[in-house]
Amino acid sequence: MSKILIIDDELEICKQVSLILNKNDFNSSYVTSYEEFIKLHKRNFDFDLVLVDLWLRNSSKQGIDIINELNSSEEVLEKYINDVHEEITKAMNWKFIADTYWRPLFSKKLALNKP
């Protein structure tokens, strides 16, 4: 199961996004500040995906600082590139399926010709 970390200064957004992800079989958790992220990062950081709000009010640093912290690890960047490639491949496959099989079913021409 993929582990996702949500970083946003608005607690309600964190809770709602986490709830949606958990309902869709993702393991998610959240932090609301740069400081909480650093504590988590130093303890045990094994997330597959991090969703970051770029403007964190009431934090000493912003989302870009978190991104820079994560990108300082070559392993994290390599995993990110591989994951993005995999997701793009999946999306392209779904687009092909949708264009080839689903779209023709809902074309105007077919709808107009039906009795």
Question: What is the pLDDT confidence band of residue 73, given thresholds at 50, 70 and 90?
Answer: low
What pLDDT was estimated at residue 61? 85
Is the torsion defined by CA of 36, 52, 49, 80 positive or negative? Answer: negative
Question: Helix 34-43 vs helix 63-71: angle between axes, to the nearest 10 degrees?
Answer: 20
Average pLDDT over residues 48-75: 80
What pLDDT was estimated at residue 29? 92
Enumerate the H helices of the chain as residue ranges.
Answer: 11-23, 34-43, 63-71, 74-97, 103-105, 108-113
Predicted TM-score (pTM) of the model is 0.59
Average pLDDT over residues 73-101: 64
Does residue 67 or residue 97 have the better pLDDT?
A: 67
